Chains A and B, each alone.
Chain A
Amino acid sequence: MTTATAAPLLEIRGVSKVFGSVIALQDISTTVGAAAVTCVLGDNGAGKSTLIKIFAGVHRHDGGDFLLEGEQVSFSSPREALDAGIATVYQDLAVVKLMPVWRNFFLGSEMRKGRGPIARLDTDAMRKIAKAELLAMGIDLRDIDQPIGTLSGGERQCVAIARAVYFGAKVLILDEPTAALGVKQAGVVLKYVIQARERGLGVIFITHNPHHAYPVGDRFMLLKRGRSLGDFAKSEITREELTGLMAGGAELEALSHELQQGGGAAAEAAQQIEAEAHDLAIPSGVAAGTPPKA
């Protein structure tokens, strides 16, 4: 499917991940190009966060290949992923509530002055940069020293995003970054996604919302219960098809079957649902759960 001859920035082939007896991911493949946005969509528990945590170095994959710029990698810690240029906004944001905003911003990548044993934190510079970067996101904090736990959920989200954007060198991963945001700030986040792409970064954007994904995405990967429902380039899927897949055309059909067996009013509802599933225009073969790529 990929037309580029050079290796993509990031690629996974048949990756799987197991937690004890739970198969969180099975046979997942996708690519993230430089200056491109790959959207990962799926229901709760589909394995989206698990997938990006493999990229971020939180988990190691159990099977398959994970390639960064054509080379096999397997990060043993998030530090390694960061050093390789992959920055992540986690779904839980990964902030330390009791610590000041600016310390959270620079946590793990602190700026220092001086050398050797007397190297110390450059607190002034970090405060200033954190404040400026947040201001650029439209977050005007009254005090950059306040514990991040005192910020609202949306503000915390913005700190986590601003931090990843600031430190992401090659790949930027956003795990449901718009979930806790209002319309205006969700728009700001989407603008950031586009900006990152324009700067040449590969972006992995996780969302529930196909209306957020479609305008910014170059590639769409759908997950369901740890399996891939398909991995499409934008040219291969329309917004309606994506919405249909996300709305779970297959589930709607299953639901209608169940209701039909009830008879009476339930059967009536079943017919409506069936019609709806039909309207969603699901690409053939996809709804049945078979990935289009072998």
Chain B
Amino acid sequence: MTTTLSPPTPEADERVARVGLLRRLVLRPEIGSLIGAVILFVLFAVSSTQFYSLAGISNWLDPASLFGIMAVAVAMLMIGGHFDLSAGVLTGTAGLATAVMTTQWGLNIWAALLVSLVLCLGIGFVNGYLVTRTGLPSFIITLATFLMLQGLNLAVTKLITGTVSVGGMAQVPFYDTVRPLFASRINVFGVDFKIQILWWVLVVAIGAWVLAKTRFGNWTFAVGGDPVASRNIGVPAARTTITLFMAVGACAWLVGTLKLMEQTSVQTNQGFGEELIYIVAAVIGGCLLTGGYGSVIGAAIGALIFGMTSQGIVYAGLDSDWFKFFLGAMLLLAVLANQYVRRYAERSGK
């Protein structure tokens, strides 16, 4: 067909061309992490064939999925303009609560799971309520919750069991009814994949759908981008923030439960220090530290990068001591890329 004489379609605007596909792509928050993940995959695959064998993939999807579930919730919270430093130890609280209630107090395992879910949602609610009510930075509020939970996890467990771990989940009645949901394997061509990977996919799908397609997702971007403007224009800002903190609580419960059912025991220090990894994954995935921008798919890719690097270094024959260095370097790269994107997005169109 000749294009020289055809009139422009009425919808088309000659200025649209200037926006360009490239700009659109660059403006996707997850694009940087996607490129990074591909490069890493190729690098590790070149250095070791084991890395991309099914068994190898199963190996690095393992940590990636648990961190990935939390990274989704933490990314949504970051898009909403807040941090949760208590997210890591909360996974420990979830596991410890369920373990203590079942093995020590003889509560039905399903009831115990429900109670610990309510507990996690409640802690998320308290975090969110304090942040919205006081207007203090969530960094400080959740630092306090983090310390308190860390202390409680240790003190209460020791008070009840006398040790720093709770075990024996496999002997709890009806454990076999819970196990298929949280600790089963799926066999793919002779290699076992943990079911937590499916949970991860599910959480990413829900998170991505909520952010892109729902009113709540719209509000999340809005309160993170400009909390005062959002409230003034009719967004229930406090409710949105509190819900986001509760979503972190729900995911912490899921991760704590997955770990507990898989290992049938839980340590009092579980999750300690992981809160920073979630934030790293979210930032690598394109979340701005200042809120209002980011992607849960990006955060999931960030967790994938974390998983690939942690195992890939070993496969490549490097000392695993290098791992944290690589993680830090990637974080730095991601933050620099993010800053560029933000300037680009905010730059006047004139």
Is B346 a contact partner of A98 (Cβ separation < 8 A)? yes
One of B19, B293, B342, B345 near A142 (C-beta < 8 A): B19
* A99-141 contacts to B (CB < 8 Å): 99, 103, 107-110, 112, 119-121, 123, 140
Knowing A98-B225, A121-B218, A142-B16, say if A108 contacts B230 (CB, 8 Å).
yes
Is A107 a contact partner of B213 (Cβ separation < 8 A)? no
One of B19, B214, B222, B348 near A121 (C-beta < 8 A): B214
User: CB-CB contacts of A75-90 with B at 8 A, as 1s and 0s?
Assistant: 0011100100000101
Q: B232 at interface (Cβ–Cβ under 8 A)?
A: yes
A107 to chain B, nearest CB (A): 5
Q: B135 at interface (Cβ–Cβ under 8 A)?
A: no
Is A143 a contact partner of B233 (Cβ separation < 8 A)? no
* B5-24 contacts to A (CB < 8 Å): 13, 15-16, 18-19
* A139-172 contacts to B (CB < 8 Å): 140, 142-143, 146-147, 149-152, 163
Knowing A78-B232, A96-B226, A98-B225, say if A150 contacts B347 (CB, 8 Å).
yes
Give A163 to B229 CA distance when docked, in angstroms: 14
Is B235 a contact partner of A108 (Cβ separation < 8 A)? yes
Q: A97 at interface (Cβ–Cβ under 8 A)?
A: yes
Is A96 a contact partner of B18 (Cβ separation < 8 A)? no
B43 to chain A, nearest CB (A): 33
Knowing A95-B226, A98-B293, A142-B13, say if A107 contacts B218 (CB, 8 Å).
yes
One of B214, B233, B346 near A94 (C-beta < 8 A): B233
* B279-323 contacts to A (CB < 8 Å): 292-293
Q: Is the interface of B mostly helix, strand, loop or mixed?
A: helix
A87 to chain B, nearest CB (A): 9
Give A152 to B226 CA distance when docked, in angstroms: 18
Give A125 to B109 CA distance when docked, in angstroms: 48
Knowing A110-B215, A119-B214, say if A58 contacts B225 (CB, 8 Å).
no
A112 partner residues in chain B, CB cutoff 8 A: 215
One of B214, B222, B292, B349 near A150 (C-beta < 8 A): B349
Q: B190 at interface (Cβ–Cβ under 8 A)?
A: no
A98 to chain B, nearest CB (A): 5
B350 partner residues in chain A, CB cutoff 8 A: 152
Q: A92 at interface (Cβ–Cβ under 8 A)?
A: yes
Is B349 a contact partner of A97 (Cβ separation < 8 A)? no
Give A92 to B349 CA distance when docked, in angstroms: 20
Q: B231 at interface (Cβ–Cβ under 8 A)?
A: yes
One of A98, A140, A163 near B345 (C-beta < 8 A): A98
Is B346 a contact partner of A107 (Cβ separation < 8 A)? no
User: CB-CB contacts of B227-259 with A at 8 A, as 1s and 0s?
Assistant: 011111111100000000000000000000000
With both beta carbons as reference points, the residue of chain B lying nearest to A149 in the complex is identified as: B346
Q: B221 at interface (Cβ–Cβ under 8 A)?
A: yes
Is B222 a contact partner of A99 (Cβ separation < 8 A)? yes
Is B349 a contact partner of A107 (Cβ separation < 8 A)? no
With both beta carbons as reference points, the residue of chain A lying nearest to B349 in the complex is identified as: A150
Knowing A97-B346, A98-B293, A99-B222, say if A142 contacts B15 (CB, 8 Å).
yes
Q: A56 at interface (Cβ–Cβ under 8 A)?
A: yes
Is B16 a contact partner of A149 (Cβ separation < 8 A)? no
Give A93 to B235 CA distance when docked, in angstroms: 15
With both beta carbons as reference points, the residue of chain B lying nearest to A96 in the complex is identified as: B225
Is A82 a contact partner of B234 (Cβ separation < 8 A)? yes
A58 partner residues in chain B, CB cutoff 8 A: 231-232
A151 partner residues in chain B, CB cutoff 8 A: 349
Is A108 a contact partner of B233 (Cβ separation < 8 A)? yes
With both beta carbons as reference points, the residue of chain A lying nearest to B217 in the complex is identified as: A121
| Residue of A95, A98, A120 most packed against chain B (CB within 10 A) | A98
Give A152 to B350 CA distance when docked, in angstroms: 7
Give A147 to B222 CA distance when docked, in angstroms: 12
Is A109 a contact partner of B234 (Cβ separation < 8 A)? yes
Knowing A107-B233, A107-B234, A108-B230, say if A99 contacts B346 (CB, 8 Å).
no
Is A56 a contact partner of B232 (Cβ separation < 8 A)? yes
A121 partner residues in chain B, CB cutoff 8 A: 213-215, 217-218
User: CB-CB contacts of B16-37 with A at 8 A, as 1s and 0s?
Assistant: 1011000000000000000000
One of A78, A119, A149 near B233 (C-beta < 8 A): A78
Is A143 a contact partner of B229 (Cβ separation < 8 A)? no
Query: What are 20 A-to-B residue pairs whose CB atoms are below 8 Å?
Result: A56-B232, A88-B232, A94-B229, A96-B229, A98-B221, A98-B292, A98-B342, A99-B225, A99-B292, A103-B222, A119-B215, A120-B213, A142-B13, A142-B16, A142-B18, A143-B15, A149-B346, A150-B346, A152-B350, A163-B233
Residues of A within 8 A of B (CB): 56, 58, 77-79, 82, 88, 90, 92-99, 103, 107-110, 112, 119-121, 123, 140, 142-143, 146-147, 149-152, 163
4 further A-B pairs in the complex, CB-CB below 8 A; given A92-B229, A108-B235: A79-B235, A107-B233, A107-B234, A121-B218
Residues of B within 8 A of A (CB): 13, 15-16, 18-19, 213-215, 217-219, 221-222, 225-226, 228-236, 292-293, 342, 345-350
The 5 closest A-B pairs by CB, nearest first: A108-B234, A142-B15, A150-B349, A96-B225, A94-B229
